[in-house]
């Protein structure tokens, strides 16, 4: 048995689910968003997200909602799945000449 309570919590959350899978601890995710926003604000900076690292539209939306004006757009080529969302959003999204296809999805 593992002694770390988070490990036990995560293990329980995915028990019985088909593998492989992606799992996001939203409490930790939100804490990281807020921490990065506080640091950037303290130094008078903004944050441009790398969509190559976060390829899930609901998570991107969550970052922009929680981070407020500190998060100012995406700085990597957008996939064909994220491009429509970026175009429709009011975020400061840079134009990308090279969107790529991606078979990944997020539910």
d(CA 100, CA 26): 28
Pull the structure tokens for residue 89: 């959003």
Q: What are the DSSP E strand ranges found in 1-107?
A: 47-49, 71-74
Three-state secondary-structure class, residue 20: coil
Q: Quick check: bond before 20 cis, omega within 30?
A: yes
For the cut 70, the answer to whether the pLDDT of residue 26 exceeds it is yes
Which pLDDT does position 84 carry in this prediction? 57
Which pLDDT does position 72 carry in this prediction? 80
Which pLDDT does position 1 carry in this prediction? 56
Identify the band that residue 30 occupies on the pLDDT scale cut at 50, 70 and 90: very high
What pTM was computed for the model? 0.67
d(CA 57, CA 105): 9
**What is the tens place of the pLDDT at every residue in 39-56?**
999 999 998 877 677 778
């Amino acid at each position: 048995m593992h002694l770390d309570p988070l490990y036990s919590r995560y293990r329980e959350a995915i028990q019985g689910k088909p593998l492989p899978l992606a799992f996001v601890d939203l409490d930790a995710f939100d804490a990281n968003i807020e921490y990065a926003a506080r640091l950037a604000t303290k130094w008078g900076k903004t944050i441009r997200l790398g969509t190559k690292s976060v390829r899930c539209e609901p998570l991107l939306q969550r970052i922009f909602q929680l981070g407020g004006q500190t998060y100012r757009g995406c700085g990597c080529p957008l996939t064909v799945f994220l491009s429509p969302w970026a175009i429709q959003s009011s975020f400061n999204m840079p134009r990308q000449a090279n969107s790529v296809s991606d078979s990944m999805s997020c539910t």
